[in-house]
Structure 1
């Protein structure tokens, strides 16, 4: 009984974050790196689990064994009925729990959609930003905020702006391989040595390649597999904080994304060769708690957008705005050399609440491509 209870809880958490059921190591990484006790949602879930586990184990020894055959039949029908009721109740969100697709599924990525999988002849700087949990909102208030953050009119003077959406599968690292290596796969099953990825191609073309994440490099083994994907340099929490980034808290403590954008800008302005910079954001990782980003506030007192639509949803959009604003300041820096920016989501926000999941497209994630107008267009043609 205890094993079944814990196993079902583990499977739910794995599915909620779109991880493969074989990723038992993810639980260990979660316990070591995250701060689940900082989240009231996780505390409440843990308390409910422990109470349920206590009564299940306590009552299991007192339950009489089934006698007549009709007792077994009734129990069997009851289990099937409950399973069917659960399937009907969760049908609307069943697609949002998405692992890797079946073999032969047509492949799509924002990198391919914009023709930047290989470097162009003019060797402009390229910054690819994978925004943690950037989903496509489908409710009117969310769409309005999304448009304000990711379709800014001021960008049009300096960039050719295009946007779209692509299917997503799996968790953040699956989204990384989708964009970097053009494949739906897990990083621990991918043959980096024999299948060249995007950073390796850019490095071969003379680019300096850098990958950035505000968390610890051991999390999902990025410090090991990012160099195998072709990155010459990596920067994680410690290096970013030593470079001046503030510390952001919450459940996923690390360097503040809003300060990382400034460090990227400094590198682009002082580099002696073309740059390919890849940045995986952190502060929009669910659950978004107080302290997760410097601009967090207003969701508790009702002054922030979406304050009346739930604390978690409100905080997520505040964190979205902070990241979008930092990227915009970077992109519009008058001293910035010609640089293209690709902004793309890894997966939809993995809310535990069903209504909050339904507030986002459960099939696709958005991308926005800013192509610098300082030079003629590259050979690849941006999608629209």
Structure 2
């Protein structure tokens, strides 16, 4: 393997105007960045450090062996994609890397967008390699000044367009203190721990809604909560709503709401039982169950859900405990699983079990996961033209969120339901393609709504002290 040291001649001014120099500068920088440039028109996380790393690899490509350059280029582009995805989907880079072995659970090639991105990655890798090798062969005609001019200009433009906000910088570093207590969560606002350990012991239903942030405009948030604000429901429940801070992705939201901890699924691996709300409920005499329409192996929920106190685990693998499973339709595109409407029936069945024990049910919704399938829920918001949101992708997600509100209303008004505390809360902002869509949400906030029963007959069951639970 050979390495040829650069000579000062490659920086001489007389080569500055050579077509070979500018061809190399423009195509080698822009080609592997084209998808990100296109994304920046709508929305893209900043990638200045990735751009500079790419420039360094291209510079080395003029001097090192072609196979070494190809390896460096492929590695740099993969790391670039990982970091971009981590910021885009609000996950830490290490979590993205850790999640790679779950890719077999996803149907990535069902999404035209993901297929196009994968195809372009391969094409741009090959094209950039060939452009650089051609420049290497014509090194005597080459000046590297244009390369650095294009490199630093593009990095500056990227910084100007995509510089992260203070909240985004906070999100990127949230795992610096894993498993620290959180000060703000919807379950804290709703005082659910106090309800569980009280002598009245109402049933509890917690619903984490995939991708639901907090709209800046109250009227848009009210469209999502609409069914839960109806008069007939207010005759039975007092309704409170608001927003709470979030950091991280879905499993971080689960840790926030169920455990009131700053964590994600990886932080449960080396822990035994954890004193989260389901564990406290279990120690207080509750029956506990978790429901999700996707695989329980994804993000290790089969492993850590029992640690936090869930007795019954209902996932795609057991069709959420529903009968006639072979007749159930599937919903979703990349995250294909059970339809939320069917999982809602399973949740309802659990809450109506005829034994005397109070029930603690947790439901993580699925079908509003990006990319959202069309025609899965009733069209209520006029999404062909973007609806009130003026954004078709956001509108399709909003129809899924609205459908969850209808499903929860059906559960809450079922005459068989005993006194039940119902809490809905978003996990994180939706990872929308457009700035216009993303800018409709408050930074770092997710919405919640609490239905508290009014004057219902509640059990008088002595609560078991949860003090013996370990962290």
TM-score, normalised via structure 2 length? 0.71
Q: Could you tell me which residue of structure 1 aligns to residue 402 of structure 2? A: 321
Q: CA deviation at 1:269?
A: 1.8
Greater relative CO, 1 or 2 (CA 8 Å, sep 6+): 1
Query: Does the 8 Å contact 1:131/1:346 carry over to 2?
Result: yes
CA distance in 1, matches of 2:285, 2:320: 28
d(CA) in 1 for partners of 2:455, 2:446: 29
3-state SS, counterpart of residue 378 of structure 2: coil
Specify the alignment match of 1:168 in structure 2: 246
TM-fit CA distance, 1:149: 4.6
1:209 is aligned to 288
User: Highest CA radius of gyration, 1 or 2?
Assistant: 2
Structure 2 portions without partners, runs of 5+: 1-72, 460-471
How far apart are 1:271 and its partner, in Å?
3.6
* 1:345 counterpart = 2:417: no
**Contact 1:177–1:183 (8 Å) recurs in 2:** yes
Larger % of helix: which?
2
**Counterpart of 1:131?**
209
Structure 1: runs of 5 or more not aligned: 379-384
Query: What does residue 360 of structure 2 align with?
Result: 276
Change (3 A) 1:362 1:275: same
2:100 corresponds to which residue?
Answer: 27
Computed over aligned residues only, the root mean square deviation of the Cα atoms, in angstroms, reads: 3.0
TM superposition shift of 1:369: 0.6
Is the aligned partner of 1:363 residue 2:444? yes
Distance 1:369 1:262 in 2: 20
- Asked if structure 1 preserves the Cα contact closer than 8 Å seen for 2:239 and 2:452, the reply is yes
Residue 381 of structure 1: aligned partner: none
Match of 2:336 among 249, 253, 266: 253
Task: Report the count of equivalent residues.
Answer: 373
* Structure 1 residues 208 and 300, CA gap change in structure 2 (3 angstroms): closer
The reply on whether 1:84 has 2:156 as its aligned counterpart is yes
- Which residue of structure 1 aligns with residue 135 of structure 2? 63
Residue 382 of structure 1: aligned partner: none
Q: Is the 8 A contact 1:256 1:294 kept in 2?
A: no
The structural deviation recorded for 1:21 is 0.8
8 Å contact kept, 2:320–2:343: no
Q: Give, in angstroms, the shift of residue 225 of structure 1.
A: 0.6
Contact 1:296 1:319 in 2 (8 A): no
CA contact (8 A) 1:100 1:169 kept: no
> Is the CA contact (8 Å cut-off) linking 1:16 and 1:352 kept in structure 2?
no
